[in-house]
Every structure is written in C-alpha cells, then in structure tokens.
C-alpha cells in the first residue's frame, strides 16, 4: 500500500470523526474515573489516532532520474512521521558519480545492495580517504564532511542511504557545482588559479549525478601527497563482520558504535525473518526505529498507549518508522524471507522484550494481571530476543 497525501487526508478526517465520538462518550462519565476502555490518566480528552507509519520510497512521488542514475527520497516532506531518520534509494550507472557535496545537518550512512561503490571523503582532521564497497558493506560520513560516491566497475550499483535527520534534504545538502556556478568568476579565478572565463561559462545549476570515465583502477593509496591519507575508518563490512545472532525463525546482524566507532549517531541491524515467523513483541527505550524492506513482505504492528494499536502491511522497497518507546512486532506474511535493513538513531542498541519483562516478575503477579492460572504464568515463553 502506498501512503499518499490523499491517504493522510482520509486518515485525518476519520480521526476527527473518532475524536468527536470519543469526546461525547467521555463527557457522560465522571472526569478522572476510568471507563472500561479508557485510562484514568486521559483527563477526559481522547488521544490522537496513530498515524500511518509505512511509506513506499521506491514508488514515491519525489525523485531524481537522469542518464547517470536515480534517487528516491523519504524525508519529512514525503514521510512526516519520520522526523529523526530519512532515506534515499540511489542507483548509479557505470561511469556515474554523485558529485562532491556535504550535508550540513545530517550524517550519512549507507548499505550497498548491488554492485560496487567507491567513495572519497575529506575530514576536518586534515586527512582524506578513498574506500571501495561491495554488497553488504556500509559507510558512515559524519555531518558536514565533504564526500563523493562513484559507481565502480562496469556494472550498475544500488545502495540505500540513511540520514540521522528526517530534514536532511531541504536546505541541507551542499553541492560543489551549485556553489561554484553561483560564485563570482573573478573570485574563483583568484581562489583556484584557473581563468575567470572558464567559470563564467559554467551552467548555473547543480550537477547532482554526473557521467565520467568508468572507474576500474585499483583504489588509490594517496591521491595528493599534500593531504594525508586516513585509515578506512568510514567503512564497515556489515554482512561479514556484523554481530551475528541466529534464532529459530530468522537471524540478525548488528553494527553499533562499539564495532564501528565513527558510526556514533546510528545503530544498524540486518534482519531476516523466515516465512511464518514473527519478530517478538518488544520496544526500544533509547531510539526511533526506521526499516527498509530489501525483499519479501510482512506486517508491522505498533502499540502507542491509550488502547491504540495499528497494523500496516509492507513489502520490498517500502520503509517503516516506529517512534521511540512504542511497542511493536513484525510478521512475515509472505512466502520468501523478509529481509530488512533497520536503523536506530542511537550509537548503541537497546531493546526490551515483552517475554523478558513477564518472566522478570513473579508468576503470581503475572497471573493476577490477566486472570490466568499459575501454571500458565509459569510456562510463558522465555526470552528469545528475536525471531521465532
Ligand atoms: Mn551524501
Ligand atoms: Mn524493533
């Protein structure tokens, strides 16, 4: 299902009707006393309905398509719920490059889905580094560090980019051609040593994705002797070196700032959920969760307190956003493995499992909550941290 503006409006109208109905019901009760369905802390006003939390990034309205590739975005403009994380699905053709640029308000993380990518980044510590990435590798570029991305070799590449701000796009991306083409040719001549006439004839627009020579040469060790070459600190081989956990119904690979120190605003998870399996009920006390579906299909269900639950289906190419602290679970409802790339806006991973929580309390107390027998309370499934 695609979340369009039209769908949001429909949801908003329904929510208004819901509020009116709920308010008239609450009005007939004594304020501050719990009704059968409400919380005693509601104070008489019904909470807003949960918003749609799935967005179809690959088929979304906003995108860039050109000879060298394409880019589809999910920022706050397309997906307003996702304030803390934005995403871009980018394809580059052989020979194409995403021009030199930086992001003033966000760090950039990416996972390579197809092909090979070469990046060069300059850091304020005076070093630069060039790294080559294959499928399953991730990069992290801190906020404001200048970088470029280039398709490596003679096959196209595809990567998923995540930013640690939902607002990264508007006014937040600074491109070198945009700057140079809008700056005085005389000043540029003084700044670079090239003739002013050259700068005067530049098209006054941003290149964004350009076409160049296909890069096949080995990764350069030192492009300019005047600029020290840094270590490969921006690269982590997530599929190879991520912390692996296997479960009855799937598996996870994790990379946090503990394994990849520069990635200090995000934690990433690659999760596989097999057909019929669920990712158990849990929540994250320290982070919002952003998911991208690499393949397969499923359903996500969230719990937002006040009796509010919402379930939405998703499939390949869609993203989901779960607010910090919201309870949730995932079901694989399809016939193939549900493969997810998951980002959290925190340098370390934390989760709390419903099963853990129940088992941490006395069986009698748990039995009294739900009216179950002591035997039932004593035989609840134990912690499984994951997928079964
Ligand atoms: Mn970038
Ligand atoms: Mn989760």
Tell me the pTM. 0.87
130 in Cβ contact with 100 (< 8 Å) = no
- pLDDT at residue 19 tops 50: no
Q: 272 near 342, Cβ under 8 Å?
A: no
147 carries an active-site annotation: yes
* Model confidence pLDDT, tens digit, residues 101-151: 999 999 999 999 999 999 999 999 889 999 999 999 999 999 999 999 999
CA 8 to chain centre: 21
User: Among all chains, which residue has been given the structure tokens 């991208």?
Assistant: 292
Domains of the chain: residue spans and CATH:
5-47+237-382 (2.60.120.10), 62-236 (2.60.120.10)
Cα 121 to middle of ligand 2, angstroms: 32
Q: Is the pLDDT of residue 50 over 70?
A: yes
Alpha-carbon distance of 157 to 96, in angstroms, equals: 10
Whether the per-residue pLDDT at 4 is higher than 60: the answer is: no
Rounded CA separation 131/137 (Å): 11
The pLDDT of residue 52 is above 90: yes
Catalytic residue among 91, 103, 282, 284: 103
**pLDDT (tens digit, 9 = 90+) per residue, 302-327?**
999 999 999 999 999 999 999 999 99
Q: Which residues contact 5 (CB under 8 A, 6 or more apart)?
A: none
- Give yes or no: 103 in active site: yes
329-385 residue pLDDT tens: 999 999 999 999 999 999 999 999 999 999 999 999 999 999 999 999 999 887 665
Tokens representing residue 179 in the block: 């700057």
The pLDDT score that the predictor gives to residue 224 is 84
**b/e per residue 255-287 (b: at least 16 CB within 10 A):** bbbeebebbbbbbbbbbbbbeebbbbbbbbeeb
**Residue 351 annotated as catalytic:** no
CA of 26: how far to CAs of 17, 45, 226, 308, 336, in Å?
Answer: 14, 8, 72, 16, 46
Q: Which residue has the tokens 């052989």?
A: 94
Quick one: pLDDT band at residue 37, thresholds 50, 70, 90? very low
Note the pLDDT of residue 219: 86
Per the prediction, the chain carries an average pLDDT of: 88
Ligand with smallest separation from the Cα of 289: 2
CA of 3 to the centre of ligand 1 (A): 26
Exposed / middle / buried, residue 31 (Cβ in 10 Å: 0-12, 13-18, 19+): exposed
Is 6 marked active-site? no
Q: Exposed, middle or buried: residue 86 (CB in 10 Å: 0-12, 13-18, 19+)?
A: buried
Give 22's pLDDT tier (boundaries 50, 70, 90): very low
Query: Furthest-apart CA pair in the chain: how many Å?
Result: 86
Instruction: Give the model confidence (pLDDT) of 275-284 as tens digits.
Output: 999 999 999 9
182 is catalytic: no
3-state secondary structure of 334: coil
pLDDT per residue as tens digits for the range 236-266? 999 999 999 999 999 999 999 999 999 999 9
Q: How far is the CA of 345 from the centre of ligand 1 (A)?
A: 18
**What's the pLDDT tens digit per position in 68-113?**
999 999 999 999 999 999 999 999 999 999 999 999 999 999 999 9
d(CA 160, CA 59): 15
């Amino acid at each position: 299902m695609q979340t369009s503006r039209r769908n949001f409006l429909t949801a908003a109208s329904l929510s208004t009707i819901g509020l009116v109905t709920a308010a008239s019901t609450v009005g007939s009760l004594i304020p501050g006393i719990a009704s059968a369905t409400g919380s005693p802390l509601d104070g008489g006003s019904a909470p807003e309905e949960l918003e749609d939390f799935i967005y179809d990034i690959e088929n979304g309205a906003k995108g860039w398509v050109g000879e060298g590739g394409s880019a589809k975005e999910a920022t706050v403009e397309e997906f307003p719920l996702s304030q803390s994380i934005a995403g871009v699905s980018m394809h580059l053709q052989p020979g194409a490059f995403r021009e030199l640029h930086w992001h003033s308000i966000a760090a950039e993380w990416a996972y390579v889905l197809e092909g090979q990518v070469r990046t060069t980044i300059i850091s304020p510590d005076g070093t630069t580094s060039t790294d080559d990435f294959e499928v399953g590798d991730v990069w992290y570029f801190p906020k404001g560090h200048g970088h470029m991305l280039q398709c490596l070799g003679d096959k196209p590449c595809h990567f998923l980019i995540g930013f640690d701000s939902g607002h990264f796009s508007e006014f937040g991306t600074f491109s070198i051609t945009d700057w140079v083409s809008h700056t005085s040719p005389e000043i540029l001549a003084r700044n670079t040593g090239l003739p002013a006439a050259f700068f005067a004839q530049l098209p006054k627009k941003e290149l964004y994705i350009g076409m160049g020579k296909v890069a096949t040469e080995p990764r350069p060790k030192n492009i300019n002797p005047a600029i020290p070459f840094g270590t490969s600190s921006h690269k982590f081989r997530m599929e190879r070196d991520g912390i692996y956990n296997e479960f009855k119904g799937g598996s996870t690979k994790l990379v946090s700032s503990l394994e990849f120190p520069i990635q200090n605003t995000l934690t990433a998870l690659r999760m596989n959920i097999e057909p019929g399996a669920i990712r158990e009920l849990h929540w994250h006390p320290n982070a919002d969760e952003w998911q991208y579906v690499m393949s397969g299909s499923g359903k996500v269900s969230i719990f937002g307190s006040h009796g509010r639950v919402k379930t939405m289906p998703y499939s390949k190419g869609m993203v989901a956003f779960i607010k910090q602290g919201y309870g949730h679970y995932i079901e694989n409802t399809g016939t193939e493995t549900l493969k997810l790339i998951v980002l959290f806006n925190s340098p370390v991973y934390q989760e709390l499992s419903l099963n853990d929580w129940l088992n941490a309390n006395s069986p009698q107390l748990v039995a009294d909550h739900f009216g179950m027998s002591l035997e039932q309370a004593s035989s609840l499934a134990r912690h499984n941290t994951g997928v079964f």
